[in-house]
Structure 1
């Protein structure tokens, strides 16, 4: 799977608010969208700034058929780290922080 195929789906989910958060109680501060520190609108802009070389994928650790994306875009002078995956039209965020 290429990032160019999933990027529009990720952006649509952010725009539609179809965002879920995987429970990561051991690292709760690493999802700024879940905590409210980053709005969905800002998250959309950050993901929009991601270029192909700033994205890599790997299989989900439990469900090997699910592609997990790791994005490392530069936006507004900050380096971001986004870890997410898609299930149908829903975006699942594992991490979203700088």
Structure 2
């Protein structure tokens, strides 16, 4: 999945509430969306301003064949993957 498809899936999932959070340590500082410190709409506004130059992709470290997308924009770090119909967040932080 390329940047445009990942961005579209992310925004759609945030609008529809179709997202989950990967369990991990340091969630209080690494996933501000999970803790309610940022809203889905705030994440949408960050990601909507991004283009492909803000994006990178690599394979999930535990789940082979799953692409993990990383968006770095204006100090924000948004790391997620898509397993339809949901988007799974690993990190949302500054």
Taking structure 2 as the reference length, the TM-score comes to: 0.93
SS in 2 for 1:57: strand
Confirm whether residue 8 of structure 1 aligns to residue 3 of structure 2. no
**Paired residue for 1:80?**
76
Q: Which runs of 5+ in 2 are unaligned?
A: none
Distance 2:32 2:81 in 1: 16
Give deviations 1:17-44, integer Å, cap 9, x for gaps: 111000112x122100001000011111
For the residue of structure 2 that corresponds to 1:14, the secondary structure is helix
Could you tell me how far apart the structure 2 residues matched to 1:16 and 1:44 are? 12
What is the rounded CA distance, in whole Å, between the counterparts of 1:48 and 1:42 in structure 2?
10
User: Structure 1: which 5+ runs fail to align?
Assistant: none
Superposed displacement of residue 46, structure 1: 1.0
2:10 is paired with a residue of what secondary structure? Answer: helix
CA drift of 1:4 comes to 1.2
Aligned residue pair count: 93
1:36 corresponds to = 36
- Displaced runs of 4 or more, over 4 A: none
Q: Is the 8 A contact 1:14 1:40 kept in 2?
A: yes
Check whether the contact 1:46–1:73 (CA below 8 A) recurs between aligned residues. yes
1:92 and 2:88 correspond: yes
- Using the size of structure 1 for normalisation, the TM-score is 0.90
Q: Contact between 1:51 and 1:73, CA under 8 Å: does it hold in 2?
A: no
